[in-house]
Structure 1
Amino acid sequence: EPSANPAGLNDQGYALMRQGRYEEALPLLEQAVAGLNGSGQLAEAYADYNLAFTRLALGRCDGVVELLDRSEQVQGSRKEIRKLRKEAERRCGDGDEG
């Protein structure tokens, strides 16, 4: 039974993400991010990171760096965020394909 609570959606999405079920995790994490956006809660930072991770795992670059920026604004600098940002820059370039 999917939860409508954004933090709950993030937890469910994270569990799927950990199992490599990115296609299933994606809509849950997108809803979680939308629901938590601007709350400044730690759950928002985690949801932003999880969505960025999931999109990158699916080969998508859209919004990944912005999500990581927002995650970092809320929870401060963490090595996981720096590592994923590097990966995003490597795979996606920094905005300009070249």
Structure 2
Amino acid sequence: MKDTVRNMIATINQTISGDPEFEFLSGFWHYPGQAGLLGMQVLWTSDAEYALRKAKADRYIMRITNQKFLDLLNGLIDQTVTDLAPLDRTRVETMITIHVH
């Protein structure tokens, strides 16, 4: 079990880091809840760090990054009005809570 969780986390991390076109809202359903949460945090951290590094050279990067985060949040919120199984609904609600905080 431990090795499996480790492999899933490594896989989602590689997917997020290696594929700039990775669509998180459709991709996180392929992973267990914990890996999806961690993936979202990795995505947020890498995007925030990138924006902070580029902030001196690009005065719009923080605005663009904030919009990306808002788009992710709104996409998660849109998921809550769809027909979801109770476990999936809890999963999306948890991701919203973590993303907001």
Same fold (TM over 0.5): no
Bigger CA radius of gyration:
2
User: Which structure's relative contact order is higher, taking Cα pairs within 8 Å and 6+ residues apart?
Assistant: 2
> Scaled by the length of structure 1, what TM-score is found?
0.35
> Scaled by the length of structure 2, what TM-score is found?
0.34
